[in-house]
Chain A
Amino acid sequence: MDFIGAYSSGNLGYLFKGFLITLEVAVISIILSFLIGSLLGTIRYAKIPVLSKVVAVIVETIRNLPLLLIIFFVYFGLREVGLKLEIIPAAIMALTIFESAMISEIVRSGLNSIEKGQIEAARSSGLTYIQTMWHIILPQALKRMIPPLVSQFISLLKDTSLAVVITLPEMFHNAQGIYNGNFNFVIPLFLLVAIIYFIVNYALSLVARALEKRLDTEGKHRGRGSGKKPKSLSGQLSS
């Protein structure tokens, strides 16, 4: 084991470059899969005659496949039928396909967890369907979705490393590049990469926990009828 050699500034710089690619791919995929996943989840929740069934079949199929297979398929398989993607777009596309399916399920069960009686009550007090969803159902459902959403984002960040199989130059790929030249660097590099992943993901999970707690206490305040308007919740509404 050679810690000093492994952590030379050249090597660290190379790893950092990989880390930026990891972040880039993960952030773009998180945004895309959140948007697509929300759309698909809402379609399934709304029970639109044919469309919801079609979406259900697609979502369930993707959810039950290994991400690795989807990555290979998007990069190599689609090439054969004429869709030639570069490595980074292919990685983003594969991650987005897989995570959208996962997120749509979170959104759907979040929406389903809100009692149907609330829709009926809101509708009979004169709100339109869209108003009911926007002002009554969504704010409550979002609160419940935050913990599973954040853990899904953590999964996505971790799963970015699978794109190493199509030689995406992310952090783990670069670590492999370094230790293939000198096997004394193997364990130091594994430790470093694992610790970087751990720090980022653990920080994310702490943020999620704090957010969850905060939203929860505001719910209680409202329950006691303290007349205070919860700030972050109205922020969510207007955003």
Chain B
Amino acid sequence: MLDFSILTTYYDLFFKGFLTTIEVSIIGLICSFILGVIVAVMRIAPLRILNYFGTCFVEFIRNIPLIIIVFFFYHGLSVYINLSGFAAGTIGLSIYTAAFIAEAVRAGIQSVDKGQMEAARSSGLKYIQAMRYVILPQAVKIVIPPIGNQFINLVKNSSILGVVAGMELMYFADYIHEKTYVTFDTYIFAAMFYLVLTIPLSLFVNYLERRLARSY
């Protein structure tokens, strides 16, 4: 059976890590959302050079492992600037997730029929107005579920901070396991902390998916 004394003895570390995981996830979501939307707009803007840079960013980042991006900020830049594990991890996570969010946002905007833009423009709206009042409200509905899924991935991926001493759940699980030599139970408890976050999120995203699908 599970040895609950690990949980009662080290609950402060588990909680500290748990809170940092939440913190990283929220900071990561905000940063990657902003960056992702910027890149998505670059990809669909009517300017060839911007499209090109946007596409390069998305394709390059999506096709390389997260751990390499994180270690690039942690080790790679250490010659020039010393980032803490927390900072390096959060920056790496944000950039990585931004590529996926950019793809989701672009797909959402492009899934709105082109005729709508033309109709809006010919009824006298400017490009920005047409985007703001006609295209985006429809795109948001399509984009929310995939962004929700990316957020779940972000929460799970935040465990990468554990390998760069980012002081989150995975790091403390590792720390406790090294201190007590109790591995099985420690990781099971860490898993439960992750599930407390991710299972409600998954259910919520599923609910949103069904709800938004019905509203058409």
Contact, CB under 8 Å: B184 / A190: no
Contact, CB under 8 Å: A69 / B187: yes
Given contacts A64-B156, A64-B199, A66-B170, contact A202 B68 (CB under 8 A): no
Q: Tell me if A23 is interfacial: C-beta within 8 Å of chain B.
A: no
Given contacts A78-B184, A193-B68, contact A69 B63 (CB under 8 A): no
Contact, CB under 8 Å: A69 / B194: yes
Contact, CB under 8 Å: B191 / A69: yes
Number of A-B contacts (CB under 8 A): 115
CB neighbours of B159 from chain A (8 A): 66, 68-69
CB neighbours of B202 from chain A (8 A): 60, 63-64
Shortest Cβ gap from B183 to chain A (Å): 4
Q: Tell me if B76 is interfacial: C-beta within 8 Å of chain A.
A: yes
Given contacts A194-B64, A197-B63, A197-B64, contact A66 B184 (CB under 8 A): no
Q: Tell me if A134 is interfacial: C-beta within 8 Å of chain B.
A: no
Give the docked Cα–Cα distance between A92 and B164 (Å).
Answer: 23
**Most-contacted residue by chain B among A60, A68, A73, A197 (CB, 10 A):** A68
Q: Tell me if A42 is interfacial: C-beta within 8 Å of chain B.
A: no
Shortest Cβ gap from B171 to chain A (Å): 11
Given contacts A64-B195, A64-B198, A198-B60, contact A77 B183 (CB under 8 A): yes
Q: Tell me if B79 is interfacial: C-beta within 8 Å of chain A.
A: yes
CB neighbours of B160 from chain A (8 A): 68, 162
Choose one: B78, B152, B184, B190; the contact of A69 (CB below 8 Å): B190
Closest to B186 in A: A77
Shortest Cβ gap from B139 to chain A (Å): 21
Q: Tell me if A164 is interfacial: C-beta within 8 Å of chain B.
A: yes
Instruction: Give chain A interface residues in 112-130, CB to chain B under 8 Å.
Output: none
Contact, CB under 8 Å: B199 / A60: yes
Shortest Cβ gap from A182 to chain B (Å): 11
Choose one: A73, A184, A187, A198; the contact of B191 (CB below 8 Å): A73
CB neighbours of B163 from chain A (8 A): 68, 164-165
Contact, CB under 8 Å: B177 / A66: no
Supplied contacts A66-B157, A164-B163, A186-B78, 14 more A-B pairs, CB within 8 Å: A67-B156, A68-B170, A72-B173, A76-B183, A77-B183, A77-B184, A162-B65, A172-B71, A176-B75, A179-B75, A183-B78, A183-B79, A186-B75, A202-B63
B residues adjacent to A (C-beta < 8 A): 59-60, 62-68, 71-72, 75-76, 78-79, 152, 156-160, 162-163, 170, 173-174, 177, 182-184, 186-188, 190-191, 194-195, 198-199, 202
